[in-house]
Amino acid sequence: MDKNIIHYGVELKNFNSWKVGGTAEQFLICDEKDILASFIKKKKIKLPITIVGLGSNLLVRDGGIKGTVIVMNGGLRKINNDENLIYTEAGVSCSKLSKFSAKEGLSNSAFFSGIPGTVGGALFMNAGCYGSETWDYVQKVLMINLNGDQIERKKSDFEISYREVKNSNKGEYFLAAWFKFPKGNKDRAENEIKELLAHRKNTQPLDWPTAGSTFRNPKDNFAAKLIQDCGLKGYQIGGAQVSKKHANFIINLGNASALDIEKIIIYIQKVVYEKKNIQLLREIKIIGDEIES
């Protein structure tokens, strides 16, 4: 699809990892920060704005999304070593950030290979796995607001917690970030990535359309274990199913609708609360409109 051009009525199932959902009223892939800023300043971007990375932690409802969907993956993908800080734009995949940092002889970035999304998405939700989180290594970020202004902000400007990042400056979106990783050994860092990817392949249903972990892990517990203990592995609605390989993953068997997936999410929450007295909170974000009946 052509970049730096506003498109209309684009099917969003092609831009999220669950492969479901309706259309975007307006749609843009932009590969330069200044071009995006210009689009906003000239009011070519219809509000509201919805930012999408790889769409890997996202459920797009079947009714689609009003306003403008801006896809970072395929657009803002610059990455470099900026005076011992890794500068990366929001559209860079977390996996690429991990591998680039390892090649630079830096350590502690392997966990990013286990995050199936972009840096922008990881910043937005403080994504993490295997005991590490995105904002553990953020030094500063570059934002863009609804006037098209680009603003650098410090880590201290944000309220950061487990899978949640709050910005008191409303109407701002992540464009890029600077990460600081400790110095390490290149070979060791690259081997850590290989081991993590092998573990991920063995334990997660990567051969199916899925959005990664559906629910956050409750304190001192694991969502996957709770779901499995409630006998929900393999539970199915329409074309959506709780993975038999990893219970915190919901897979699209090929013909699922977003509504099928959302119904499973609600059902899992209901059953786990009834049987375990624990309220599972979603890790995935649900956006868009339901189909009008």
The packing angle between helices 94-103 and 186-203, to 10°, is 150
Please give the pLDDT value at position 58: 95
What is the pLDDT of the chain when averaged over all its residues?
95
Whether 246 shows a pLDDT value over 70: the answer reads yes
Catalytic residue numbers? 163, 213, 283
Please give the pLDDT value at position 49: 95
Torsion of CA 188, 134, 70, 263, to 10 degrees: 110
The rounded percent of the chain whose pLDDT value lies above 70 is 99
- Which residues belong to CATH 3.90.78.10 in the chain? 223-287
Please give the single-letter amino acid code of residue 238: G
Whether 130 shows a pLDDT value over 90: the answer reads no
Q: Does domain 79-202 bear CATH number 3.30.465.10?
A: yes
Enumerate residues 6+ apart whose C-beta is below 8 A from 58. Answer: 16, 17, 18, 52, 211, 284, 285, 286, 287
| pLDDT tens track for 153-206 | 999 999 999 999 999 888 999 999 999 999 999 999 999 999 999 999 999 999
Q: Quick one: average pLDDT of 34-55?
A: 94
Whether 74 shows a pLDDT value over 60: the answer reads yes
Which architecture, in CATH terms, is 223-287? Answer: Alpha-Beta Complex (3.90)
- Which residues belong to CATH 3.30.465.10 in the chain? 79-202
C-alpha pair distances (Å), 118 with each of 113, 126, 275: 11, 12, 36
Please give the pLDDT value at position 277: 98
Q: For tokens 């993953």, name the residue.
A: 249
Enumerate residues 6+ apart whose C-beta is below 8 A from 43. Answer: none
Please give the pLDDT value at position 84: 84
Q: Which residue has the higher pLDDT, 244 or 131?
A: 244
Q: For tokens 């109407």, name the residue.
A: 171
Banded pLDDT at 82 (limits 50, 70, 90): confident
Enumerate residues 6+ apart whose C-beta is below 8 A from 65. Answer: 12, 22, 23, 24, 25, 50, 287, 288, 289
The 3-class SS string of the chain reads CCCCCCEEEEEHHHHCCCCCCCEEEEEEECCCHHHHHHHHHCCCCCCCEEEECCCCCEEECCCCEEEEEEECCCCCCCEEEECCEEEEECCCEHHHHHHHHHHCCECCCHHHHHCCCEHHHHHHHCCEECCEEHHHCEEEEEEEECCCCEEEEEHHHEEEECCEEEECCCCEEEEEEEECCCECCHHHHHHHHHHHHHHHHHHCCCCCCECCCCECCCCCCCHHHHHHHCCCCCCEECCEEECCCCCCCEEECCCCCHHHHHHHHHHHHHHHHHHHCCCCCECCEEECCCCCC
Please give the pLDDT value at position 293: 56
Q: Quick one: average pLDDT of 116-121?
A: 93
The string over 190-219, giving b where at least 16 C-beta atoms fall within 10 Å of a residue's C-beta and e elsewhere, is eebbeebbeeeeeebeeebbbbbbbbbbee
| pLDDT tens track for 51-69 | 998 899 999 999 999 999 9
The sign of the torsion formed by the CA atoms of 225, 230, 232, 233 equals positive
Q: How many CB atoms lie within 10 A of CB 166?
A: 8
Q: Quick one: average pLDDT of 251-280?
A: 98
Q: Quick one: average pLDDT of 121-129?
A: 93
Cis peptide before 205 (omega within 30 of 0): no
Banded pLDDT at 113 (limits 50, 70, 90): very high
Please give the pLDDT value at position 131: 86
Fold classified for 7-71: 3.30.43
- Which residues belong to CATH 3.30.43.10 in the chain? 7-71
